[in-house]
Amino acid sequence: MSRSTIARINTGALQHNLQIMRQRAPDSRVAAVVKADGYGHGLLTVAKALQQADMLAVATVEEGVQIREMGISGDVLVLEGFHDQEDISAVQQHKLLPVMHADHQLKLLKDNAELSFKQVWLKLETGMNRLGFQAHRAAELHQWLQHGYTDQVVLMTHLANAELPHPSNAQQVEVFDQAVAGLPGPHSISNSAAAWGLPETRRDWIRPGIILYGISPFTDKTGTELGLKPAMHLCSEIIAIHDCKAGDSLGYGSRYQCSKDTRIAVVAIGYGDGYPRHIKDGAPVWVAGQQAKLAGIPSMDMLTVELPDDSTADIGDEVELWGEHIPVEQIAAFANTVAYELVCQITGRVKKDVV
């Protein structure tokens, strides 16, 4: 009776991808990024599977506390750091490692002068204009942190265009290198794209996220083409099949018109499950061992697929929306977004099966 719309999460794939990332950057330690519920794959599953990483990284203090409550005791970095007294107490209590990127955090630290951390990551603004202290403050802040609060300051920044051959990459690295020249401590610059494609940014710590899930950060290559394995397989089943005549239209808004007599399969997944509503007709869907095409606007609980003439599809057959046969990167292109968003927006209605 249970609905068979499921996301199968393959922990072996997560571990394989970590291994591939390590081979690509053998001299760097890995902070495996598991924010946003492990990029939608399930925080517990992902945090457990990736314990071989040198540390885990999350966005928020709350996510860090969740990891501790799962009984995981390794290092956990909080990429946005603490924002109030409650946060800073939780960071201390649960032995999380904070990123410091703004003056309000310095003030909180001064108000808690007795605190100390195994490591603090000092984030510098080098061109993305999101988080980070102005690079010229690096030396002053480094000294202040090291004299009061920690024995080790990791110097970090984040690139705005790492997945592209963009001139800003070299510019950001140059601003960073000038700011940290002569300061002791490890460096960290790279997300997945930089760790993969920009060797000069690998440094002491890389911070890969998307690659660990088997997804490529580059638009011209899929994860599989990089040697990665997709960690999420999003599947559902056919709940109805019917014949449409040439000229019939499908679904809300009648967006899709059948150009010829066509068999249509109705699949039990829609935007209420996180499948993108804004996707174009023709997006690939894997049905009965073949690639079929999405036809019509997905609705909340269902979508419709035009079956190939020789399809053997039947009611109850499993359908793959992305995963083994259909790269999620390809779905992202049809939906005019990035695969990051697709995996993150799978809703709570979709059961996760860990394999």
Ligand X SMILES: *Cc1c(COP(=O)(O)O)cnc(C)c1O
User: Judged by CB under 6 A, does residue 101 bind ligand X?
Assistant: no
Cα 44 to chain centroid distance, Å, stands at 15
Q: Are strands 318-322 and 133-134 parallel, antiparallel or unpaired?
A: unpaired
| Between 4 and 119, CB nearer to ligand X | 119
Three-state DSSP state, 35? helix
User: Judged by CB under 6 A, does residue 207 bind ligand X?
Assistant: yes
User: Judged by CB under 6 A, does residue 20 bind ligand X?
Assistant: no
Question: Whole-angstrom Cα distance, residue 290 to residue 307?
Answer: 9
User: Judged by CB under 6 A, does residue 192 bind ligand X?
Assistant: yes
The catalytic residue among 35, 229, 256, 271 is 35
Least distance from ligand X to the Cβ atom of residue 314, Å = 39
Question: Whole-angstrom Cα distance, residue 96 to residue 75?
Answer: 7
User: Judged by CB under 6 A, does residue 24 bind ligand X?
Assistant: no
For ligand X, which residue of 90, 210, 234, 287 counts as binding (CB under 6 A)?
Answer: 210
Q: For ligand X, how many residues bind (rule: CB under 6 A)?
A: 12
- Comparing C-alpha atoms, which of 212, 304, 203, 292 is closest to residue 250? 304
Active site (annotated) includes residue 39: no
Question: Whole-angstrom Cα distance, residue 134 to residue 122?
Answer: 11
For 185, phi then psi, to 5°, come to: 115, 155
Contact criterion met (CB below 8 Å) for 273 and 254: no
User: Judged by CB under 6 A, does residue 22 bind ligand X?
Assistant: no
Question: Whole-angstrom Cα distance, residue 307 to residue 253?
Answer: 21
Residue 282 structure tokens: 């023709």
The catalytic residue among 95, 110, 252, 260 is 252
| Between 117 and 205, CB nearer to ligand X | 205
Of the ranges 136-144, 165-173, 201-209, 309-317, which one interacts with ligand X (CB under 6 A)? 201-209
User: Judged by CB under 6 A, does residue 158 bind ligand X?
Assistant: yes
Active site (annotated) includes residue 35: yes
Three-state DSSP state, 32? strand
Angle at the Cα of 112 (from 106 to 113), degrees rounded to 5?
90
Print the binding letters for residues 106-145 with ligand X: x by CB under 6 A, - otherwise: ----------------------------------------
Print the binding letters for residues 50-79 with ligand X: x by CB under 6 A, - otherwise: -----------------------------x
- Comparing C-alpha atoms, which of 324, 269, 320 is closest to residue 298? 269
- Comparing C-alpha atoms, which of 40, 60, 58 is closest to residue 347? 40
Contact criterion met (CB below 8 Å) for 95 and 120: no
Position 228, amino acid: L
| Between 28 and 262, CB nearer to ligand X | 28
Of the ranges 6-14, 114-122, 139-147, 190-198, which one interacts with ligand X (CB under 6 A)? 190-198
Of the ranges 67-75, 114-122, 165-173, 203-211, which one interacts with ligand X (CB under 6 A)? 203-211
In the complex, which residues of this chain contact ligand X (CB under 6 A)?
33, 35, 79, 158, 191-193, 207-210, 217
Active site members:
35, 252
